């Protein structure tokens, strides 16, 4: 009974794990950016634009 060599299995597993990790990382980073970060920035920018408009309206009176 001969046991099959396992020489390339570890390297293949490591490459697969690293590829999956980077792939999932990029996907989740993109999802975070689109659905969490950008709406927060837009909300903040809208607040400061409103504050600026309010301050300009007070200054012109």
Task: Report the predicted TM-score, pTM, of the whole model to 2 decimal places.
Answer: 0.70
Per-residue confidence band for 6, with pLDDT thresholds at 50, 70 and 90:
low
Q: Per residue in 29-47, is it b (16+ CB within 10 Å) or e — as a string?
A: eeeeeeeeeeeeeeeeeee
User: Between residues 3 and 50, which one has the greater pLDDT?
Assistant: 50
15, two tokens: 């490459």
H/E run at residue 61:
none
Query: Which residue shows structure tokens 């634009």?
Result: 49
The sign of the CA dihedral 58, 61, 53, 50 is: positive
- Distance from C-alpha of 19 to C-alpha of 25, rounded to nearest angstrom: 10
pLDDT per residue as tens digits for the range 14-61: 999 999 999 999 999 999 999 999 999 999 999 999 999 999 999 987
């Amino acid at each position: 009974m001969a046991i099959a060599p396992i020489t390339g299995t570890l390297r293949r597993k490591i490459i697969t794990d690293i590829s999956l990790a980077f792939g999932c990382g990029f996907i989740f980073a993109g999802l975070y950016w689109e659905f969490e970060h950008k709406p927060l920035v837009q909300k903040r920018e809208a607040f400061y634009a409103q504050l600026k408009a309010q301050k300009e309206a007070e200054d012109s009176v």
